[in-house]
Amino acid sequence: SSQYKLLLGSVLQYISSQYKLLLGSVLHYISSQYKLLLGSVLQYISSQYKLLLGSVLHYISSQYKLLLGSVLHYISSQYKLLLGSVLQYISSQYKLLLGSVLHYISSQYKLLLGSVLHYISSQYKLLLGSVLHYISSQYKLLLGSVLHYISSQYKLLLGSVLQYISSQYKLLLGSVLQYINSQYKLLLGSVLQYISSQYKLLLGSVLQYINSQYKLLLGSVLQYISSQYKL
């Protein structure tokens, strides 16, 4: 009986130590595989996230450049048309005014030509020179004022358009980045939750299998020892 108890104790101690070693090896293997899998998944998600972010930023930048080019081209064409119209209008009014002045002076000149031809001729030349000088100076001042006004309005309009486009671009970029970041966090949470649930199920199955095999082995050993002991 004492030898049986010693033998039984040794067998049980050996089986228990082997069971602990096996269980430790299995848990260590599962843990290392879980870490490798998790690292691979996180690395893949991070690389895909960087690629997606790069594509989105490149697309937004290209669209922004196209929009800015179209706006600047449209403003430049409208500015040229407006300037051409203003210059044409001023030129036509200048010609009409000059024609009216010359016609009026010519008619007055003809009326006075009979009596004071020499005097009128000298005064006519002086008057015509003064009138033409005055008209020319006023024309230059008017043209300078108009061009200065158009240039200032063009600069204000261009500044407003560029500021509006820049603000809309920043708002759009912020919204896109916020949306991508939220989707990335949701995806990462789902993947981690799925891996954790699968890890727990796998660990439970392995432990249940090892426990059942341990009980079967222990039962067989005890039955064998008992039969040998009876013999």
Closest CA to 184 of 45, 18, 80: 45
Query: Over the chain, what is the mean pLDDT?
Result: 91
Q: Are 105 and 127 in contact (CB under 8 A)?
A: yes
Least confident of 19-28, 136-145, 166-175, 222-231: 222-231
- DSSP one-letter string for 138-152: HHHHHHHHHHHHHHH
User: Residues, the chain, total?
Assistant: 231
> Residues 112-170: pLDDT tens digits?
888 878 897 889 899 989 989 999 899 899 999 999 999 899 999 999 999 999 999 99
- State the maximum Cα–Cα separation within the chain, in Å, rounded to a whole number: 171
Q: How far apart are CA 113 and CA 121, in angstroms?
A: 8
- Which tokens in the block code for residue 130? 């003064």
Mean pLDDT of the 32-46 span = 95
Q: Tell me which amino acid residue 49 is.
A: Y
Distances 44 to 72, 73, 180, 192 between C-alpha atoms, Å: 42, 44, 16, 13
**Half-sphere CA count of 22, side-chain side, radius 13 A:** 13
Is 225 exposed, middle or buried, given 0-12, 13-18 or 19+ CB atoms closer than 10 A?
middle
Strands (DSSP E) contained in 26-175 are none
Closest CA to 128 of 104, 112, 111, 110: 104
> Residues 64-120: pLDDT tens digits?
999 999 999 999 999 999 999 989 998 899 899 989 989 998 888 889 888 878 897
Q: How far apart are CA 105 and CA 111, in angstroms?
A: 10
Spatial CB neighbours of 120, under 8 Å, sequence gap ≥ 6? 109, 112, 113
Q: Residue 165's Cα: distance from chain center in Å?
A: 13
